[in-house]
Structure 1
């Protein structure tokens, strides 16, 4: 006759049983390759050509060349030398631009949650991930751009005043009635 060794079981403490099941579920999910804690969506930026200097902040304006494609490779938007405010674009694009440097070229993959989400936009269907090729030509702070605009307005006003002063003292053209 075979003898069976018995191991005395300890009583399970109150509340421990649910912890055991949570642990068992976590192990089962991990073994199946499923992450039980969802990771937040991430923007992926790949450097094709390194840029130089600092990176833009969320308060800056950028000047870029870009091409946006859908998962099937179809181009949905493309432009050259486009000025953009980082706080005026989709969140994933703003995040990507803040990881770039002037003169650099990049490939950017934006998950739908950081693009147009479940609403979509134009040719972009709801829940569509986007890919962009971006060249960051330059960037400036909004304060720098506002200062440049003020200087240009002042120069234009001065030119208009000089033109008006010159026209007032100019002789009448030949043959004009006086």
Structure 2
């Protein structure tokens, strides 16, 4: 009987640990941008004045992919001051080597204007972002 209790207790602890390991930290910024950390980076964290290099995949709320640097097999580099507010804010909460999912309310993305006939007006967007470098 004692061995059974130990086994059950051990199984419960293993389940709790696995459940905790699978849950990603989510931070909501004042703008409404949500950042779900998939993998915490260990390198430098950028500021708005930095240029960053990332791989990313962008999707609409219905899951339709509208862009992916992964598909082009080509990361992109840009100044954080030259992109949508969601990226400027969200990527500053990442560290090099990290992966996160950014949930961008329309007002922090392309707003009422949409973009390029691919992103409709007032679209909430999701980006899977991998921060490769900061300079």
Return the TM-score normalized by structure 1: 0.55
Q: How does 1:14-163 map to 2 (within 5 A)?
A: 41-79=31-69, 80-122=74-116, 123-140=118-135
In the TM superposition, residue 81 of structure 1 has moved relative to its aligned partner by 1.6
Moved over 3 A (4+): none
More strand by share: 2
Quick one: distance in 1 between partners of 2:132 and 2:86? 19
In the TM superposition, residue 93 of structure 1 has moved relative to its aligned partner by 1.0
Which residue number in structure 2 is paired with residue 14 of structure 1?
A: none
Quick one: distance in 2 between partners of 1:62 and 1:86? 7
In the TM superposition, residue 52 of structure 1 has moved relative to its aligned partner by 1.0
Cα displacement string for residues 98-140 of structure 1 (whole angstroms, at most 9, x for unaligned residues): 1100000111100000111111112111110000000001110
In the TM superposition, residue 41 of structure 1 has moved relative to its aligned partner by 3.6
Q: Which has the higher contact order (CA 8 A, sep 6+)?
A: 2
Quick one: distance in 2 between partners of 1:93 and 1:64? 11
Which residue number in structure 2 is paired with residue 163 of structure 1?
A: none
Cα displacement string for residues 26-55 of structure 1 (whole angstroms, at most 9, x for unaligned residues): xxxxxxxxxxxxxx6411011111101331
Q: CA RMSD in A?
A: 1.1
Where in structure 2 are there 5+ consecutive unaligned residues? 1-29
